[in-house]
C-alpha cells in the first residue's frame, strides 16, 4: 500500500463517522469531565513556598483572576517602563554633570568667573557691542 492509498483509506474511515451507543458516549463524556477536573488545580512547582503564595494571591482575587491579570500585567509593564526611563534619565543627568564639572575644573577660566554675575553681564555687553 503506497502513501496515497493509505491516505484514501483513512479518509474513507473518517467519512464513515463514529457511531457510538449512548452508553459509550456517556462514559467518554464522564472521562473528559474527570480529566478536566483534574487539570484545573495549579500543579505545585519546585518553588513550593512561592506556589503557596501564588495560590493565596489567586485565592484573594477569587473569580476575577483573569481580569486582574489583564489589568495587572499592563500596569506592571508600565511601572517597569517608567522605572527604566527614570533610571536612564538619572544616569544621563549624572553623566552630564560629570562632564560639565570635569570641563569646569580643567578649563581656562577659573571657577570664580562662572560665579561672577558682573563677568557674565560683561560678556553679554561685549557680545552685544560686536
Partner 1 sequence: MRRALLVLALCLAAGAAGAQTSKVKGGKPAWAELTVEQQHTLAPLKADWESLDPDRRRKWIGIAKRYPGMKPQEQERVQRRMQAWAKLTPEQRRQARENYKRIAKVPPEERGKLGEQWAEYQALPPSERQNLAPPQTPARKKK
CB of 29 to partner 1, least distance (A): 26
Read off φ and ψ for residue 3, nearest 5 degrees: -60, -40
Instruction: Name the residue nearer to partner 1 (CB basis): 30 or 58.
Output: 58
> Residue 68 CB: number of other CB atoms within 10 A?
14
Instruction: Name the residue nearer to partner 1 (CB basis): 8 or 101.
Output: 101
Measured CA angle at 103 (ends 102, 107), to 5 deg = 125
Q: Please give the residue ranges that form the binding site for partner 1 (CB under 8 A).
A: 42, 45, 50-51, 53-55, 57-58, 65-66, 68-69, 72-73, 76, 79-80, 83, 87, 94, 97-98, 100-111, 113-123, 125-127
Instruction: Name the residue nearer to partner 1 (CB basis): 26 or 80.
Output: 80
CB of 33 to partner 1, least distance (A): 22
Q: Kind and range of the H or E element at 75?
A: helix 65-106
Instruction: Name the residue nearer to partner 1 (CB basis): 21 or 108.
Output: 108
Cα–chain center distance at 112: 50
Q: What are the angstrom distances between the C-alpha of 23 and each of 8, 18, 49, 65? A: 31, 14, 44, 37
CB of 32 to partner 1, least distance (A): 22
Amino acid at each position: 500500500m503506497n502513501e496515497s492509498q493509505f491516505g484514501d483509506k483513512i479518509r474513507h474511515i473518517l467519512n464513515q463517522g463514529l457511531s457510538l451507543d449512548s452508553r459509550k458516549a456517556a462514559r467518554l463524556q464522564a472521562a473528559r469531565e474527570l480529566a478536566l477536573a483534574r487539570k484545573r488545580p495549579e500543579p505545585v512547582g519546585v518553588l513550593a513556598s512561592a506556589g503557596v503564595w501564588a495560590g493565596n494571591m489567586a485565592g484573594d482575587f477569587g473569580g476575577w483572576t483573569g481580569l486582574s491579570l489583564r489589568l495587572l500585567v499592563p500596569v506592571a509593564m508600565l511601572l517597569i517602563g517608567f522605572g527604566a526611563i527614570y533610571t536612564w534619565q538619572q544616569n544621563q543627568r549624572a553623566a552630564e554633570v560629570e562632564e560639565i564639572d570635569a570641563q569646569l575644573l580643567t578649563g581656562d577660566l577659573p571657577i570664580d568667573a562662572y560665579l561672577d554675575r558682573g563677568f557674565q553681564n560683561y560678556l553679554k555687553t561685549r557680545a552685544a557691542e560686536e
